Chain A
């Protein structure tokens, strides 16, 4: 059959569901092992954060798409959580190998890290669904002019939902791509576009934490000699 945009989107969704079918909604035993190895066990905080962000996400999803779609928002969030735990485990395995250390207490107790990682997982889910359900005309005429409701739920929508600085989201993108080999070429391109948007625009907003870091860096002075301008 011809490879239409709708068919491509349906194939991506099918693949995503297949990939995450065997993944768990809860941290695996391996992940729990990493939590237990921490100086401060983050298990409880992680579970609480996932629960809170789930409520916020479902509420905002229903506001944007329609109150009848609360269940759909919960389904999307559930897929995002599966991906979040899976990528977290892969990242920690890779860090253990790189650093020869099993105690990631600082990282695993960072709220910015978890919120960014979950936001990135959800962005992958939401971007996969763009061009599917709501483009079939069920949700009004906008479906026919290319301005699907779901397009509005793509990046940077998730930053607003989680009140997450773009600068923090940026930090997880590269490690996320490295840790999740099943990402399609289109999805990697999408995440790259998110990176560019942050670099060129979102990270330079007045409330960005980047300015404070630049200030700190300026006060501490250069750590090493700057490279020549040509480089």
Chain B
């Protein structure tokens, strides 16, 4: 077995040098890590699993990569090898991203972006890599299904000063402020996306389309008390029937509050806040504004 594993590693190196990533991964995956004959330490096993997963990810093969990352997950908790741990985290985030579990991926990317060390083992962490992780976190959050959880992550990113320097910041700002995104902005955002983030879904929408439509629908719910299917369709750039269907699903999944009147072909949006709370809020706003004016008068010495 010893000789076999040495040969496999050499072949894998050759494949890797020729960028035949999946073949290299298959070659390495043939090494028996659970052999009863050879005693292999956990660090070696972990390094192999992570290495294989990274090779599969080079070809965006999330399914095979996940198999080996799952194996690694049993080993990573006891590992002291910081470089391997970091590589494991990056692989896990990318697998979630490829599997379109965007919100989970965003949290993982964001976690990676906050690494403070610039030297881990013999590996140097450069700023670009961290910025890339942060930018991926923003992208995945924007692509995630609209709703309260996504809003919380958006708030975290929006308040993170590092984000204001990212190229994607203007989109993040609009999405955070729950503003309707227009087609030119969406097209510019699409330029930055990877292939799997623009993949077609069963209902003929791309991942991006659905994220943007849901986002714009939620934004519309902040602007309108009620809106007709036709106008909503025009606003979202889709047929009225599709608009109604997406709205009903978001309401059903409790990601948007409202009701649908199919006879009138109108959607009624409800505020997150109860009427009485809104009333109180208005009184608070009134008093605050009064206070501001009084402060202004005082500061001007009038």
Whether chain B is bound by chain A comes out as no
Taking Cβ atoms with an 8 Å cutoff, the residues of B that contact A are none
- Residues of A near any B CB (own CB < 8 A): none
